Structure 1
Amino acid sequence: MNSRRLWLAIGAVVLLAGLLGWMRFTAAPDGNLTGSSLGGSFSLVDQDGKTVTEADFAGKYRLMYFGYTFCPDICPTDVALIAKGLKAFEVAQPARAADVQPIFVTVDPERDDPKALKAFVGAFHPRLIGLGGIPAQVDAARKTFGIYARKVETGDPKNYLVDHFAVIYLFGRQGEPIAFLPHGATADEVAVMLETYVR
């Protein structure tokens, strides 16, 4: 590689790193979802087999993540940091934190039945709710919340993967979109987001 190409490659890497850094929150999020049309009504089934709609969370902030329980890495990592950030906020601001409902929504309804959801959410936070349902319900919820998901075959029909949009959402007391953190955010950033917006 000649020196010109080397410098162009270095420049591209530096630019990419800068863009990725800009896209991630390193301090309090700036309310970048305020005014968007993200979110809305849904009807899903929780880890106890009970039908749940957006009305069940009225008056609560909703800390939401879409993933799947069979995920080998990204989902459990993200949900663990969400739980850690929420727990830190609960220690610092117990009264305000009580108004935050953490919610995990599956993108894999074929495998994530209530039993699988219950085991998964129970491993992370005592107040974390797992939501699923039949494919039509889950697909409708995904569209409502702008979540892409696609099955990726592995050659084993029971052990497929699901490629999906990994993001941490915060919605307000009436379901209004407030802010988000992208995949790769830290537990501290989750705590800062909650400290910033939950009142």
Structure 2
Amino acid sequence: MEIIFYDCLESTQSFLLNVLKNNLCVVALRQTKGIGSRGNQWDTVESGLYFSFCVEKKQLPCDLKIQSASIFFGFIFKEVLYEAGFDVWLKWPNDIYLKDAKIGGVLVNVKQDKVVCGIGLNFLSQSFGCLGEELERKEFLSLFFEKLKNTQEWKQIFSKYKIEFYKNLNFSFHDQDKVISLKKAFLLDDGSIDLCGKIIYSLR
């Protein structure tokens, strides 16, 4: 994975969706129009990690439903943080939490035969949830991409995520501008959830 750093970009996700170069990761020290879930703006904090990377669909595990790509990428990212000593978890479908506070998020777009994933993580902030510590960005990204390369099957990730899914039950998520409780959600093997008979995927 080629990693390029920029002092400032409007959005790493928008930039890479325009470039659409395979095996490229762009990192911004600051974003002026960062994109969050549902098109919301991701606010720049005192210190954070903002990056997007592009891979071809055929590089992803063959047993991964593309609709669950945010869970796949997000859980691998979460694992690298956990191995670094942070007690974080992945809230369905694409939020990174430290205890009860959201500290980051995952955004996935599919364009042509490419998958572009953007991840934002708050290191330090006075106004939002944050990790509470600034990490060395290049070193951390190297660990993330190494783990991503070595994860060949969706079931490697899903078996671990399923164990932790109970942490979601006191939270909610947004679906088509509605806030929906996860209290009665049942996680299915492909990463979707069953809510009273309605099947919902993370990428909608």
Q: TM-score, normalised by structure 1?
A: 0.26
Task: Give the number of the structure whose residues are more often helix, by fraction.
Answer: 1
Task: Give the number of the structure whose residues are more often strand, by fraction.
Answer: 2
Which one has a bigger Cα radius of gyration? Answer: 1
